[in-house]
Amino acid sequence: MEADKVINGNCWVTCFDILGFTEKVSEFEKGSGRGHLDVFVDVFYQELLDELQRHGKYWPDKIFTTWFSDTFLFFTRDDSGVSFTHNSTTVTNFCQSVMSKGWPLQAAIGFGQLYADKSNNIFVGSGLIDAYSYTEKQNWIGLVVTPKANNRLRELGVELRRRPVRFKEYDVPVKRKKIEKGVCTIIEETERLFAVRIHKLSNVIRYIEHMKKEAVHKNPKDYNDRYGVKYENTLKFFKQCL
């Protein structure tokens, strides 16, 4: 995407949230002190940026990328079926690459309007909100297609049920906030969505199992409360959808 170009219309937007990023930054700062985040960038963060840029080059005039901290975005020029295929293929491969580096993630392919002006770092619109909200609400490690995105695909005559090699309709574990009398409670439930079968990618199951073992080792006391649910939900999906 050339610096002076602006996207202003409906398109496909995929949002990634890298899990555990905040904790890794905090741990690094505690161990290294002030003024050494450049080392964190060189050792940990740069590899994520390298993968983002590498995958963004598959279709340089069709798929565009940007990022902020642990949030990464892929977006298209329009909302055609071809653009969806380019986007979904690229982000699925990005998932595999990120997890190979030991980073768990949550991601969603959304749909809607997007105003994207990279030269001024402006990104706003319902497409971004759609992708981000479904990224945040998942309670596992995975990649889903939002209901709005799926509805648009059906308008285009694209049925994800006919693509069983890559997509599976599934009761995805999600979290919902419930506020009563000023008290916020997190409700764990499921939502029927199309999920990408990321476990069919090379070595992804092994990556997830390894990350789970590391989480147990580093956090033996609070693993079940803070991490266990996401890993167990993920592995359950893998087993049920082999």
Residue 1 domain-assigned? no
Residue 229 domain-assigned? yes
SS3 track for 36-79: CHHHHHHHHHHHHHHHHHHHHCCCCCCEEEEEECCEEEEEECCC
Residue 76 domain-assigned? yes
State the Cα–Cα distance between residues 91 and 50, nearest whole angstrom. 14
Is 93 exposed, middle or buried, given 0-12, 13-18 or 19+ CB atoms closer than 10 A? middle
CB of 108 closer than 8 Å to CB of 87: no
What one-character-per-residue DSSP string does 164-229 give? TTTEEEEEEEEEEEEEETTEEEEEEEEEEEEEE-GGGSTTHHHHHHHHHHHHHHH-TTTHIIIIIH
Closest CA to 189 of 204, 200, 176: 176
Residue 164 domain-assigned? yes
Taking CA 70 as the corner, what is the angle to CA 76 and CA 30, rounded to the nearest 5 degrees?
Answer: 170
Taking CA 137 as the corner, what is the angle to CA 134 and CA 142, rounded to the nearest 5 degrees?
Answer: 75
pLDDT at 4: 54
CB of 76 closer than 8 Å to CB of 56: no
Residue 36 domain-assigned? yes
CA 219 to chain CA mean position, Å: 24
Query: Over 60: is that where the pLDDT of 50 sits?
Result: yes
Q: Indicate the range of 15-24, 138-147, 179-188, 231-240 predicted with least confidence.
A: 179-188
Question: Looking at residues 138-148, what average pLDDT do you find?
Answer: 98
CB of 195 closer than 8 Å to CB of 108: no
Residue 153 domain-assigned? yes
The fraction of the chain above a pLDDT of 90, given in percent, is: 76
**What CATH number did the domain enclosing 27 receive?**
3.30.70.1230
The fraction of the chain above a pLDDT of 70, given in percent, is: 98
Tell me the per-residue pLDDT of 71-120, one tens digit each, with 9 for 90 and over.
999 999 999 999 999 999 999 999 999 999 999 999 999 999 999 998 89
Task: Tally the domains of the chain.
Answer: 1
Q: How far is CA 137 from CA 56, 64, 130, 166, in A?
A: 25, 24, 11, 22
Tell me the per-residue pLDDT of 184-241, one tens digit each, with 9 for 90 and over.
888 999 999 999 999 999 999 999 999 999 989 888 887 887 789 999 999 999 999 9
- Give the sign of the dihedral formed by CA 211, CA 217, CA 218, CA 220: positive
CB of 177 closer than 8 Å to CB of 214: no
Higher pLDDT, 163 or 180: 163
CA 242 to chain CA mean position, Å: 21
Residue 56 domain-assigned? yes
3 is written with which tokens?
């610096």
Residue 54: domain span? 6-240
> Does pTM surpass 0.85?
yes
Q: Count the helix, strand and coil residues of the chain and give each as a percent rounded to the nearest 5.
A: 50, 30, 20
Residue 139 domain-assigned? yes
